Protein backbone atom coordinates (compact mmCIF):
# COMPACT_ATOMS: atom_id res chain seq x y z
CA UNK A 1 0.00 0.00 0.00
CA UNK A 2 2.89 2.35 0.71
CA UNK A 3 4.30 2.27 -2.84
CA UNK A 4 0.85 3.14 -4.29
CA UNK A 5 0.23 5.96 -1.77
CA UNK A 6 -2.70 4.20 -0.12
CA UNK A 7 -3.67 4.70 3.53
CA UNK A 8 -4.69 1.20 4.59
CA UNK A 9 -6.27 -0.62 7.50
CA UNK A 10 -5.85 -4.38 7.23
CA UNK A 11 -7.25 -7.27 9.24
CA UNK A 12 -6.28 -10.90 8.67
CA UNK A 13 -7.38 -14.21 10.11
CA UNK A 14 -6.63 -17.81 9.29
CA UNK A 15 -9.65 -19.97 8.56
CA UNK A 16 -9.32 -23.36 10.18
CA UNK A 17 -11.88 -24.92 7.83
CA UNK A 18 -11.29 -25.97 4.24
CA UNK A 19 -13.10 -23.96 1.57
CA UNK A 20 -15.22 -26.51 -0.34
CA UNK A 21 -14.78 -24.96 -3.79
CA UNK A 22 -10.97 -25.12 -3.72
CA UNK A 23 -10.40 -27.78 -1.04
CA UNK A 24 -7.71 -25.50 0.41
CA UNK A 25 -7.40 -23.65 3.70
CA UNK A 26 -7.23 -19.87 3.42
CA UNK A 27 -6.48 -16.56 5.05
CA UNK A 28 -9.31 -14.03 5.19
CA UNK A 29 -8.15 -10.44 4.62
CA UNK A 30 -10.31 -7.36 5.09
CA UNK A 31 -9.02 -4.18 3.46
CA UNK A 32 -10.09 -0.59 4.12
CA UNK A 33 -8.13 1.71 1.80
CA UNK A 34 -8.15 5.48 1.29
CA UNK A 35 -6.51 7.17 -1.69
CA UNK A 36 -7.00 8.34 -5.25
CA UNK A 37 -9.02 6.14 -7.58
CA UNK A 38 -6.01 5.69 -9.87
CA UNK A 39 -3.83 4.51 -6.97
CA UNK A 40 -6.58 2.15 -5.78
CA UNK A 41 -6.67 0.51 -9.22
CA UNK A 42 -2.87 0.15 -9.23
CA UNK A 43 -3.05 -1.44 -5.76
CA UNK A 44 -5.71 -3.95 -6.86
CA UNK A 45 -3.63 -4.85 -9.88
CA UNK A 46 -0.65 -5.58 -7.62
CA UNK A 47 -2.75 -7.83 -5.38
CA UNK A 48 -4.25 -9.73 -8.29
CA UNK A 49 -0.86 -10.38 -9.90
CA UNK A 50 0.68 -11.92 -6.78
CA UNK A 51 1.71 -15.58 -7.13
CA UNK A 52 -1.25 -16.67 -4.96
CA UNK A 53 -4.88 -17.53 -5.53
CA UNK A 54 -6.74 -14.34 -4.51
CA UNK A 55 -10.53 -14.43 -4.39
CA UNK A 56 -12.26 -11.04 -4.00
CA UNK A 57 -16.03 -11.38 -3.63
CA UNK A 58 -17.05 -7.74 -4.00
CA UNK A 59 -15.61 -4.25 -3.69
CA UNK A 60 -17.34 -1.21 -2.17
CA UNK A 61 -16.05 2.15 -3.46
CA UNK A 62 -17.18 5.49 -2.06
CA UNK A 63 -16.08 8.93 -3.21
CA UNK A 64 -14.61 11.28 -0.59
CA UNK A 65 -13.72 14.93 -0.91
CA UNK A 66 -10.12 15.41 0.19
CA UNK A 67 -10.66 19.11 1.12
CA UNK A 68 -7.23 20.02 -0.26
CA UNK A 69 -8.56 22.42 -2.89
CA UNK A 70 -6.69 20.65 -5.68
CA UNK A 71 -9.84 19.28 -7.34
CA UNK A 72 -8.75 15.69 -6.82
CA UNK A 73 -11.23 13.59 -4.91
CA UNK A 74 -10.20 10.47 -3.11
CA UNK A 75 -12.10 7.24 -2.69
CA UNK A 76 -12.53 4.76 0.11
CA UNK A 77 -12.36 1.16 -1.04
CA UNK A 78 -13.47 -1.70 1.21
CA UNK A 79 -13.22 -5.36 0.27
CA UNK A 80 -12.52 -8.79 1.63
CA UNK A 81 -10.37 -11.40 -0.02
CA UNK A 82 -9.48 -15.02 0.54
CA UNK A 83 -5.89 -15.92 -0.12
CA UNK A 84 -5.47 -19.67 -0.27
CA UNK A 85 -2.73 -21.64 1.45
CA UNK A 86 -1.35 -24.91 0.17
pLDDT of 9: 96
Largest CA distance in the chain: 50
Average pLDDT across the chain, whole number: 87
The answer, yes or no, to whether residue 60 has pLDDT greater than 80, is yes
Average pLDDT over residues 45-62: 91
Q: Where does the pLDDT of residue 44 fall: very low under 50, low under 70, confident under 90, or very high at 90 and above?
A: very high
Are 37 and 45 contacting, i.e. CB atoms less than 8 angstroms apart?
A: no
pLDDT over 70, % of the chain = 91
Q: Where does the pLDDT of residue 40 fall: very low under 50, low under 70, confident under 90, or very high at 90 and above?
A: very high
The answer, yes or no, to whether residue 7 has pLDDT greater than 70, is yes
Amino acid sequence: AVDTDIDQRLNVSYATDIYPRTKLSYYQFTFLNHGSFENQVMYLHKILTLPYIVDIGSIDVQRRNNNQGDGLDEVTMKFSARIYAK
